[in-house]
A = this chain, B = another copy of it.
Amino acid sequence: MPGKRQIRPERPVYPTPAALITTMDEAAGRPNIISLGEVFNISISDPVILGIAVRKERWSHRLISQTREFVVNLPTCRLAAQVWTCGSCSGRDTDKFARTGLTPLPATRVRPPLIAECPVNIECRVTAIQEVGDHDLFLGEALVEHVDEAALDADGRIRVDRLDGFALMCGQFRAFGRRL
Contacts and interface: CB of A to CB of B under 8 A. Distances in A.
Interface of A: 1-17, 19, 37-51, 53, 72, 74, 77, 80, 103, 105, 108, 114, 116-117, 119-122, 132-135, 137, 139, 142, 144-150, 152, 156, 158, 160, 163, 165-167, 169-170, 172-180
Nearest to A39: B13
A42 B52 CA distance: 8
B74 A14 contact: yes
Given A14-B165, A179-B174, A121 B44 contact: no
A105 to B, nearest CB: 8
Nearest to A178: B175
A139 to B, nearest CB: 6
Contacts of A132: 42-43, 49, 51, 139
